[in-house]
């Protein structure tokens, strides 16, 4: 959070990152192919995703949305303060610094497919990734020795490394019917020998060029707020009683792990 105490006290994690960054990434992953690469064609498809996201009532919010606030901890061997000890932050602040959720997109393509989201401050590592986990096949071609398989995963790295990883299982050429997980890795910086640029350089260049592809349109902004407003209203009406509930340097509160474990899944780990 740095020195953004006054801002973060009024914003919190949902307004800071979920309403904009996370919603945009979710839409880019889930949207249908646009009819062309025109900015409005792309934004039209993203808005369809926001409109088809399942409406969340209070019961859903209480069961499938997790909030957290970090306490004191260690990062890279250095002691760091908790959120309530940060500069310009109230000592009894109810502001969430962590968010985890299970979303549903109720359209034909994504019916029954859960979308798990988590984001937070003072976590174990600064990273942004999209992980797409493939379903297990109904038939075990390699027999009973492969009843428990590591799921195939496609990982889209956004920061700190822009990369695409495909994690899948292979059979050792000289072994028995046992599968081993391997990773194919494509990294933009390594492959093209490019120099990393400041993160907002492309945004400023596209703005000057008049290319609106990566910019949110007004109806899209309103649709994103319609998704997250119920979360904000619920959390502000019922203050958290267990803050802080995760130490700095960890991966968030235990409730976030339980959220995904209930479905027999786990978060991506590093």
pTM (two decimals): 0.90
Per-residue pLDDT tens for 37-46?
899 999 999 9
**Domains by residue range for the chain, with CATH:** 5-261 (3.30.360.10)
Catalytic residues: 21
Q: Which structure tokens are listed for 230?
A: 């119920």
Interval 94-118: pLDDT, tens:
999 999 999 999 999 999 999 999 9
CB 136 within 8 A of CB 152: no
Helix 23-30 and helix 39-52, axial crossing angle in degrees, nearest 10: 100
For all residues of the chain together, what is the average pLDDT?
Answer: 90
Query: Measuring CA to CA, which residue among 138, 155, 116 is closest to residue 26?
Result: 116
């Amino acid at each position: 959070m740095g020195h953004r105490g006054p801002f973060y006290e009024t914003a919190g994690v949902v307004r800071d990152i979920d309403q904009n960054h996370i919603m945009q990434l979710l839409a880019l992953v889930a949207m249908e192919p646009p009819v062309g690469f025109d900015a409005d064609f792309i934004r039209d498809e993203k808005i369809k995703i926001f409109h088809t996201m399942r409406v969340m009532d209070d019961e859903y919010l209480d069961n499938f949305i997790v909030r957290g606030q970090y306490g004191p901890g260690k990062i890279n061997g250095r002691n760091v303060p908790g959120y309530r000890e940060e500069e310009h932050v109230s000592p009894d602040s109810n502001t969430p610094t962590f968010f985890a959720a299970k979303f549903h997109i109720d359209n034909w393509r994504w019916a029954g497919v859960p979308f798990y989201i988590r984001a937070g401050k003072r976590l174990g590592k600064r990273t942004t990734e999209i992980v797409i986990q493939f379903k297990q096949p109904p038939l075990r071609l390699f027999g009973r020795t492969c009843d428990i398989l590591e799921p195939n995963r496609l990982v889209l790295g956004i920061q700190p490394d822009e990369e695409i990883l495909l994690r899948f299982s292979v059979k050792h050429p000289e072994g028995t019917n046992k599968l081993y997980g391997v990773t194919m890795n494509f990294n933009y910086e390594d492959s093209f020998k490019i120099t990393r640029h400041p993160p907002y350089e492309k945004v400023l260049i596209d703005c000057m060029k008049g290319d609106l592809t990566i910019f949110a349109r007004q109806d899209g902004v309103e649709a994103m707020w319609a998704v997250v407003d119920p979360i904000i209203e619920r959390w502000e009406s019922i203050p958290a009683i267990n803050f802080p509930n995760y130490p700095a340097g960890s991966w968030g509160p235990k409730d976030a792990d339980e959220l995904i474990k209930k479905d027999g899944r786990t978060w991506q780990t590093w």
